[in-house]
Amino acid sequence: MKKWHELSIVELAHQYRTKEISPVEIVDATFQRIKEQDGMLNSFITVLESEALEQAKKAEKTFMENEDVHVLSGIPFSVKDLFDTDGIRTTCGSKILKDYVPSTTAPIIKELEELGAVLIGKTNMLEFAYGIVHPDYDQTNNPWNPAKTSGGSSGGSAASVAAGLGFFSLGSDTGGSIRIPASYCGIAGLKPTYRLLSLKGVFPLSPSLDHIGPMAKTAEDLSVLMNSLTIIRPGTVYDQGKVPVVGILKEECLKDITDNVKNVYSQTIQLIKRMGWEVKEITLKYFDRTEELIMKVLLPEAALIHEKWLDRSEDYSPLTFSQIEAGLNQNTLTYLRAKKECDLASEDVDNVFKEVDIIFMPTVPYPAPDEDPALEVDDEMMFTGLFNITGHPAVSIQAGFSKDGMPIGMQLAGRKYGDSWLLYKASQLENQLAGMRGKM
């Protein structure tokens, strides 16, 4: 029998309605768990215990009166600390904004609260989502092994969900910042189609590449969340019964992944074939250019955003500020050429999706390392970054474990605005993977 913090969103919603458990009990238990575990994990910057308990009481009243309420009513959630929250500080994991208190709330958070979801806190993150932790906030550690990182930049969101400190979280993703920590922490994370979810009220890193999306235990939970949110465009309708054609990379593209990841990848491919899904080798023309193009776009866009704080260099971590300086010094033509190539990369992936329904690959080349790698020397974005450039939806699901017991995620990408169908298929694969592990 599952413990309360292991329940899915749907399972918890059912228990609310059968009155096996109440929102107040769950929110109380969540804060008790935060007090017991987050000193080790460092996943929260701000917790909202009194505010959350008030919201939980309102939700509990609706259940006691047998009102017909939304599936998210009474469900505790958190948000990465770059979403504006009226009257609650929003630090972006930075010293620059350590005392910043917005006067408005990001529309996506307001919508979740109107549906009855209970905001329990703001999660830790890399400084301005820019690839390095600020020493004032320290690294978020991995629930599976606190000696390892939870990843970034949405590491606090991933760790909190994985540790049962809330049932879902919102993060941001500019090169993999939802999917990478999801892989490290053994949960599911979705980077939706570009601009499918509104970025209003979210502090930007690189507007051309930024996405926001949900993180939860499973792809099924992600589906519940995406189906609950108002989206900018309607999703494309697909036949759920369709047997997908799955595109996989040529072997040479996988030469740099670790043996642990390679083993899980190979086992998952074999499972996909046993499920009856067709597998087809593909070529992505811009696969080897991903990190180069991201940095050529990201550096100048981020520099423009941070230009107003150039006289506060001592308040940034040194690496963050050096990247801002690099963006200021980048040639305009370099940026414009990179933007043009990003458009070509998007067209190339669109063309690949004329032949396949899903692109499948590892999420990260390795399990969680001890520390967050420096952005300028790491290869974390090897598999994730392409879909920030192209805007296609991509989801990471828990697929297996390394020999020392650390989670390993696999990534599925789909056609633009096919987010719902992609999550449906990801959930099918996720369930099969869980069943396979249960038999081992």
Residues forming the active site = 80, 153, 177
Whole-angstrom distance, CA of residue 115 vs CA of residue 106: 15
Three-state secondary structure readout of the chain: CCCHHHCCHHHHHHHHHCCCCCHHHHHHHHHHHHHHHHHHHCCEEEECHHHHHHHHHHHHHHHHCCCCCCCCCCCEEEEECCECECCECCCCCCCCCCCCCCCCCCHHHHHHHHCCCEEEEEECCCHHHCCCCCCCCCCCEECCEEEEECCCCCHHHHHHHHCCCCCEEEEEECCCCCHHHHHHHCCEEEECCCCCCCCCCECCCCCCCCEEEEEECCHHHHHHHHHHCCCCCCCCCCCCCCCCEEEEECHHHHCCCCHHHHHHHHHHHHHHHHCCCEEEEECCCCHHHHHHHHHHHHHHHHHHHHHHHHHHHHHCCHHHHHHHHHHHCCCHHHHHHHHHHHHHHHHHHHHHCCCCCEEEEECCCCCCCCCCCCCCCCCHHHCCCHHHHHCCCEEEEEEEECCCCCEEEEEEECCCCCHHHHHHHHHHHHHHHHHHHHHC
Number of other CB atoms surrounding residue 256 within 10 Å = 11
Nearest by Cα to 165 from 302, 40, 303: 40
Identity of residue 137: Y
Residues 6+ apart with CB under 8 A from 438: none
Nearest by Cα to 123 from 172, 87, 75: 172
Whole-angstrom distance, CA of residue 21 vs CA of residue 44: 25
- Residue 109: both structure tokens together: 């958070």
- Residue 257: both structure tokens together: 């992944």
